[in-house]
């Protein structure tokens, strides 16, 4: 079955793979993902949207990865490695983690790495010739980032996890003699990291093929910025605005907004766009090509950054004293278009958006976003999110991973981690109820119906909203450094009954694939 075109009327679900059930502390690319693909198909859904799938960094955030090119070893299915003959299936079944509603990242990481290391030892000792050849081909094909990534992870381990700016000076400044010596000293760890990436790539390809067989396309998420403590910045420090010690002179974030009165200070380094332009944007071309190869469509996070960015002096504790500076997004996207052709991207055009940002989005024919939770408040931009005001070239959401769940949003009383007062919340709730023509008892289904009924080409609903969960199931609270990204589904929560109800609405509003009826 072919995957859907982005312009075709369709719908999907937003769920990060770590949130899936599974016996090893989090979801992964194995059985849980396969079952979810099958559930999506039974629910009439054509898209699975995920958060970034790189190795999570600070705060366990998928938006702060060790590499923009690498896949997360935490997503490698241990059962999949057992199926490949690299792990003892019986021993693996006897060594599981409790099923909980939250990921314990520390315990899960230790558990999975122990088994992944065992699989690596088995690979080295008894992998068939054809598997070894596939591994060698992968390492050769991805050498442009994989060599430095493996060494970065190895050196970081040897330095007790310290950021690269606190490594030995000769390694920090990438002295060739020191790098050669480190490659030899840490050859075993480098080889392990490359194996983990190979395992991720093999399992990802299988999952992608399975999804395509079920008519489900995969939508990824590409943060515009990369983490400072990453292989990307260590490998190419001249491409970023850093001082002589490798520390950022300015950092990324966004000004005060709906989520925070002091803005958001993300801490990512800013690009040296003059240096990027001088190389023909080679790093960006490699990055976007890799993302487009992994997913059917990629959401460009913080699309505003392709027009202008909020630069915060690195010495400032909040984002309040930042300033807008221009970026050459049109020049970059033209270069990508010349290499790739039609751009398989969605523009996350939220925040301090200007007419110039919309013009850039439309110039390259990229769908923008419409968030229904933003449609009923006092913000001047709120009316643009109402379905009777936006057009077809949109991806409409009840909410995103940064929002509260729809039930949590509806029950919120104001204050807390948003800038809304109690009075504003009361007015917003009353406006939403009038617009929806409902009493709010099933506000999540009311909002899902509104999204599916809209003219937007694509409607995406977070899994938490499909299940009607409250704030306890929120995935992320912007501006909060810890405690995010850990929500998990309970086994069986996405039941046939839930699939049937979603399928019925999907079919009613003309979003189900041809020939596919309600469950």
Q: What is the pLDDT of residues 417-438, one digit of tens each?
A: 567 789 999 999 999 999 999 9
List, for residues 369-387, the tens digit of each pLDDT value. 999 999 999 999 999 999 9
C-beta neighbour count of 463 within 10 angstroms: 23
In the predicted model, what is the mean pLDDT of residues 161-169? 96
* Mean pLDDT across the chain: 95
Q: What is the DSSP letter of 17?
A: G
Spatial CB neighbours of 7, under 8 Å, sequence gap ≥ 6: 457
Cα–Cα–Cα angle for 447, 452, 456, rounded to 5 degrees: 115
Q: What is the DSSP letter of 515?
A: T
**Which sequence positions are flagged as catalytic?**
301, 348, 402
Alpha carbon distance 368, 239 (integer Å): 29
pLDDT, position 518: 44
Q: How confident is the model at residue 480 (pLDDT cuts 50, 70, 90)?
A: confident
Q: How confident is the model at residue 29 (pLDDT cuts 50, 70, 90)?
A: very high
pLDDT, position 481: 77
Spatial CB neighbours of 16, under 8 Å, sequence gap ≥ 6: 27, 50, 51, 62, 401, 475, 485
Indicate if the pLDDT at residue 283 is higher than 50. Answer: yes
Q: What is the pTM of this model?
A: 0.95
| Bridge pairing between strands 250-254 and 308-313 | antiparallel
Indicate if the pLDDT at residue 244 is higher than 80. Answer: yes
Conformation bin of residue 425: beta by default, left when phi > 0, alpha when psi is -120 to 50: alpha
Map residue 253 onto helix, strand or coil: strand
pLDDT, position 519: 43
Sequence ranges of the chain with CATH classification 3.20.20.80: 15-221
CATH topology of domain 15-221: TIM Barrel (3.20.20)
Q: What are phi and psi of 47, to 5 degrees?
A: -135, 140
Q: Give the closest residue to 401 by CA, choosing from 318, 460, 452.
A: 460
Q: 54-58, 140-144, 185-189 — which is least confidently predicted?
A: 54-58
């Amino acid at each position: 079955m072919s995957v859907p075109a982005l312009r075709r009327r369709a719908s999907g679900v937003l769920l990060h793979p770590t949130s899936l059930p599974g016996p090893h502390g989090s979801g992964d690319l194995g059985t849980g993902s396969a079952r979810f693909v099958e559930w999506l198909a039974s629910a009439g859904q054509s898209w699975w949207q995920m958060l970034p799938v790189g190795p999570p960094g600070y705060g366990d955030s998928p938006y702060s990865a060790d590499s923009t090119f690498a896949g997360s070893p935490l997503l490698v299915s241990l059962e999949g490695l057992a199926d490949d003959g690299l792990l003892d299936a019986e021993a693996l079944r006897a060594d599981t983690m409790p099923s909980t509603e939250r990921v314990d990242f520390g315990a899960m990481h230790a558990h999975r790495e122990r088994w992944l290391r065992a699989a690596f030892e088995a690979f080295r000792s008894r992998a068939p010739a054809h598997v070894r050849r596939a591994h060698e081909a992968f390492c050769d094909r991805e050498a442009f980032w994989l060599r430095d990534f493996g060494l970065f992870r190895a050196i970081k381990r040897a330095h007790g996890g310290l950021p690269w700016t606190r490594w030995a000076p000769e390694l920090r400044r990438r002295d060739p003699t020191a790098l050669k010596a480190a490659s030899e000293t840490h050859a075993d760890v480098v080889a392990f990291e490359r194996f983990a990436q190979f395992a991720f790539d093999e399992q990802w390809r299988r999952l992608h093929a399975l999804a395509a067989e079920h008519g489900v396309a995969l939508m990824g998420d590409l943060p515009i910025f990369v983490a400072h403590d990453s292989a990307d910045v260590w490998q190419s420090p001249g491409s970023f605005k850093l001082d002589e010690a490798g520390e950022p002179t300015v950092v990324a974030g966004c000004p005060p907004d709906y989520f925070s009165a002091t803005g958001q200070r993300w801490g990512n380094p800013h690009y040296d766009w003059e240096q990027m332009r001088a190389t023909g944007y080679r790093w960006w071309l490699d990055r976007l090509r890799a993302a487009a190869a992994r997913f059917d469509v990629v959401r460009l996070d913080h699309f505003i950054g392709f027009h202008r960015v909020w630069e915060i002096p690195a010495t400032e504790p909040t984002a309040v004293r930042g300033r807008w500076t221009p970026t050459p997004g049109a020049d970059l996207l033209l270069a990508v278009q010349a290499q790739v052709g039609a751009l398989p991207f969605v523009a996350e055009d939220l925040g301090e958006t200007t007419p110039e940002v919309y013009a850039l989005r439309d110039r390259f024919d990229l769908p923008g976003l419409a968030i229904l939770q933003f449609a009923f408040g006092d913000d001047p931009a709120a009316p643009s999110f109402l379905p009777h005001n936006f057009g077809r070239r949109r991806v409409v959401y009840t909410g995103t991973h940064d929002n509260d769940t729809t039930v949590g949003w509806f029950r919120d009383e104001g204050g807390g981690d948003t800038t809304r007062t109690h009075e504003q919340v009361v007015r917003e709730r009353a406006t939403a109820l009038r617009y929806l023509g409902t009493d709010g008892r099933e506000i999540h289904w009311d909002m899902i119906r509104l999204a599916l009924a809209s003219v937007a080409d694509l409607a995406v609903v977070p899994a938490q909203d499909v299940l009607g969960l409250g704030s306890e199931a929120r995935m992320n609270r912007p501006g909060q450094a810890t405690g995010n990204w850990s929500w998990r589904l309970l086994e069986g929560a996405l039941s046939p009954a839930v699939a049937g109800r979603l399928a019925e609405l999907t079919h009613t509003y003309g979003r189900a694939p041809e020939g596919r009826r309600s469950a």
